[in-house]
Copies of this chain bind each other. A is one copy, B any other.
Amino acid sequence: MRISAETEQRVRDAITTLHYRPNRNAQSLRTATTSTIGIITDVIASGMFSSQLLAGANAAARAAEHVLVIGEGEGDADARDLLIDEMLDRRVDGIIFATHTALRTELPARLQSVRTVMLNCFDPEERVPAVMADDCNGGRCAGEILLRAGIETDVVIVGETPDTAGVAGLRRLTGIRAAFEEQAREISATIDCEWSPQPAYEALHTWLAHGDRPRGLVCMNDRAALGVYQALSEAGLTVPGDVSVVSFDGSELSSWLRPQLTSVALPLRQMGALAVELLLAPESDGASVHFVSMPVITGESVRPPLEPVSV
């Protein structure tokens, strides 16, 4: 103890008055760890999707005393790879590879030797852990909502798109069908259209022109549901009086519609958070896909059951 207490105090004072803070770059150089996580998204701007994923990831990162570096690939694989390099150059502790739409996609080559978690997408060969919404169970929920309301026939699905690269549609469809099969019922029809207001409006408008009248409608997302509302209203059908409507995503939009939409929500925040937790977890956790369950946001777009149901 060669340093006097007084000297120590003077040093401590200097630390505060000069606002000294350790240089994390120097720390990183020595320790080869940065407390920094890179997150690569295809499109940041995409309204709620990427931003909520980001928000969840950021919250979890903060909780673990980490910070997020973001990069937007903009759909261009080269730009994306450049970004990845940029992050690796900065020696991020790991990378989250996120897409704004649920996708089966090849993990970029240069990520295969880096600690990586896929978010809202998964590698066909499951080389790294992935986080996805549990669309299959979500679909089942949507189906059960209608069934519990006593709507077992004349149910139509709006937004079937089996050809897309996305996997959400197929999984939701599977879940819905499963719920109906359990009750020995089935879906009456599926209407194929993009998951946006205008296409959904047009598709349903055309379909209704045939004279069929559905009792229940499942929309593949809230935006499609908006178009569906418009088409139903034009056809003089009321929600939920004539037709009950269930949807997916649980976006803000679902709460803006009148009547408020019952929607099976994408747990984007939780997904983002889980991705960070997996990335930071000491155990590699194998490389399985983690499914996050989709909560139901109950609105007023589904007819209450005619008779009270015993649980």
Give Cα A182 to B286, complex, Å: 69
Contact residue among B23, B47, B70, B269 (Cβ-Cβ distance under 8 Å from A29): B23
- A253 is an interface residue with CB less than 8 A from chain B: yes
Give Cα A79 to B67, complex, Å: 13
* Minimum CB–CB distance for A258 against chain B, Å: 6
B-chain residues with CB within 8 Å of residue A90 when the two chains form the complex: 24-25, 36, 67
**Number of identical monomers bound together in the oligomeric complex:** 2
- A126 is an interface residue with CB less than 8 A from chain B: no
Give Cα A25 to B91, complex, Å: 8
B-chain residues with CB within 8 Å of residue A307 when the two chains form the complex: none
B-chain residues with CB within 8 Å of residue A288 when the two chains form the complex: none
B-chain residues with CB within 8 Å of residue A26 when the two chains form the complex: 29
**A69 and B67 within 8 A (CB):** yes
Q: Whose C-beta in chain B lies nearest to the C-beta of A44?
A: B55
Which of A80-88, A130-138, A140-148 makes up part of the contact surface? Answer: A80-88
Beyond the given A36-B69, A55-B72, A67-B69, could you list 19 further A-B residue pairs with CB under 8 A, ordered by the A residue number? A21-B89, A29-B29, A43-B55, A44-B58, A45-B48, A45-B52, A45-B55, A46-B51, A47-B48, A51-B54, A54-B70, A59-B72, A67-B71, A67-B86, A68-B70, A70-B70, A197-B256, A226-B256, A230-B258
